[in-house]
Amino acid sequence: PRGAHLRTDNELEIGGVETTQLAARFATPAYVLDEDDIRARCRAYRAALPDVEIAYAGKSLLCRGVLRIIAEEGLSLDVCSAGELAVARSIGFPAERILLHGNVKTAEDFKAALGYGVGRVVIDSLDEIHQLGALTTAAQPVLIRVTPGVDGSTHHAIATGVDGQKFGFSLADGAAERAVARVLAEPGLRLVGLHCHIGSQITRVAAFEEAARRMVGLLALIRDRHEVVLRQLDVGGGHGIPYLPGEAEFDLTGFANRLRCAVNYESGRRRFPVPALTIEPGRCIVGPAGVTLYRVAVVKRGATTFVAVDGGMSDNPRPALYGARYTVRMVGRASSAPAVPVTVVGRHCEAGDVLATGVDLPADIAAGDLLAVAATGAYHHSLSSNYNAVGRPPLVAVRDGVARLLVRRETEDDLLARDEG
């Protein structure tokens, strides 16, 4: 994060707080968040895209403390379950700034959304049109999620812009247009626009531009065939972040320019009024702000040196799920030992619990040393589990030399709380 500072004694400060102090106070593993970094990213998005609604994707990291920051920075919010909505509701996040997403929304999800009065529901299937329509007569504003047929070049598990995956209505085979007709015929729903989300951890700006072009084309087609002018276009999230040295930051300025140009050009040539735009970044808002601190528990030297830490796939399943790679560094004490390549592994009972391979750490790395893993703000806390009955780590925000506990560590009592005996 931008508030991170590595001192010459190899002490890492984040938000003006020493990680050694954080580890001592909150124990390890711990997720640390640089609050100013999150705020700066919210502001960068708003400055680069002043006319665009920025809806933070809550699935990337959600708790009340983070959501208050998001609300204060003036962002909207994407939720995908009654549970996520409950967090938003508990801090009074403005309902009109909330979008409800997901390919499955249960009756509880719909009821919670209608009960709170969320601004928009994003329709993902024909079933939903009836399911939601049956619950309301109040003309709930909805968007239709379209699969635009754009490949964002990302891991297949998080590629959602192409046909052949579960989300949305295909643009190519006419399903999107048929969904429009069905929504228009449903009295409880008011169609206000279209949505697409082509995937996550995408760095190629041209992919977003192409999706936006196709979506404006569809808006014009809908006007021509259904005589309805939809005013809103949500082009989703998915902006990638750097995880390794040498990887670039997302080109936000380039994205903003190309999105604006593409939408203006396509609208102009089709004589369609320029739609109000929404984007839904999650990872790019909170990802780089997070650092996970681990304590080295065991070092096993052999053909491969394994540095085993006190966390693992329960706090970070991303290497196992997506082959994700990370930057890992020893912090908190100086070492003049040469760097040697090691494999950083977790404490969980499977050989696949590997956090990072080919990491250079000092040859004298030993039990008790601290490791910091960068860019863990998004999809770490939210993907964590208590596999092996290991409690989930706390989430700590740092700012101006002060550390604030946002979510406490999961305890053994927590782990037993749902067990009916």
In angstroms, the first-to-last Cα distance of the chain is 44
> Which whole-number Å values give the CA distances from 174 to 146, 165, 168, in the listed order?
10, 16, 12
Give the residue with the Cβ less far from ligand LLP, 79 or 330: 79
Cis status of the peptide bond prior to 273, with omega within 30 of 0: no
> How far is CA 185 from its chain centroid?
34
Contact string (CB under 6 A) for ligand LLP, positions 256-295, x = contact: ------------------------xxxxx-----------
| Binding residue (CB under 6 A) for ligand LLP from 161, 238, 288, 312 | 238
Helix, strand or coil for residue 324? coil
- Tell me whether residue 261 is one of the annotated catalytic residues: no
**8 A C-beta contact, residue 372 and residue 344:** no
| Binding residue (CB under 6 A) for ligand LLP from 3, 15, 188, 236 | 236
- Find, among 327, 243, 330, the residue nearest to 295 by Cα: 330
Give the residue with the Cβ less far from ligand LLP, 15 or 237: 237
Length of the chain equals 421
Please check if 420 is assigned to a binding site: no
How far is 132 from 189, CA to CA, in rounded Å?
8
| Binding residue (CB under 6 A) for ligand LLP from 125, 170, 200, 376 | 200
Residue with tokens 């996520």: 84
Please check if 242 is assigned to a binding site: no
41 in contact with ligand LLP (CB under 6 A): no
Please check if 223 is assigned to a binding site: no
Phi, psi of 153 (to 5 degrees): 55, 70
Give the residue with the Cβ less far from ligand LLP, 255 or 294: 255
- CB of 260: closest distance to ligand LLP in angstroms? 19
Please check if 178 is assigned to a binding site: no
How far is 391 from 379, CA to CA, in rounded Å?
17
For residue 108, the tally of other CB atoms under 10 A from its CB is 12
Q: How many residues bind to ligand LLP according to rule CB under 6 A?
A: 23
The piece of 22-30, 186-194, 196-204, 359-367 that touches ligand LLP (CB under 6 A) is 196-204
Query: Which parts of 317-382 fold into alpha helices (H)?
Result: 318-322
Identified catalytic residue from 42, 63, 196, 349:
349
**8 A C-beta contact, residue 294 and residue 369:** no
- CB of 179: closest distance to ligand LLP in angstroms? 16
Instruction: Name the amino acid, one letter, at 122.
Output: V
Helix, strand or coil for residue 345? strand
| Binding residue (CB under 6 A) for ligand LLP from 133, 161, 188, 237 | 237
Give the residue with the Cβ less far from ligand LLP, 144 or 330: 144
The piece of 3-11, 168-176, 195-203, 247-255 that touches ligand LLP (CB under 6 A) is 195-203
Give the residue with the Cβ less far from ligand LLP, 101 or 214: 101
How far is 303 from 309, CA to CA, in rounded Å?
19
Give the residue with the Cβ less far from ligand LLP, 26 or 255: 255
Give the residue with the Cβ less far from ligand LLP, 70 or 361: 70
| Binding residue (CB under 6 A) for ligand LLP from 95, 158, 320, 415 | 158
| Binding residue (CB under 6 A) for ligand LLP from 318, 347, 348, 392 | 318
Q: Can you give 63-119 as a three-state secondary structure string?
A: CHHHHHHHHHCCCEEEECCHHHHHHHHHCCCCHHHEEECCCCCCHHHHHHHHHHCCC
Please check if 265 is assigned to a binding site: no
For 77-102, b/e burial (b = at least 16 CB within 10 A) is bbbbbbebbebbbeeebebebbbbbb
- CB of 166: closest distance to ligand LLP in angstroms? 11
| Binding residue (CB under 6 A) for ligand LLP from 101, 182, 214, 381 | 101
Annotated binding site: 238, 280-283, 318, 322, 350, 379
Where do contacts with ligand LLP occur on this chain (CB under 6 A)?
57, 59-60, 78, 101, 158, 197, 200-201, 236-239, 280-284, 318, 322, 378-379, 383
Residues classed as catalytic? 349
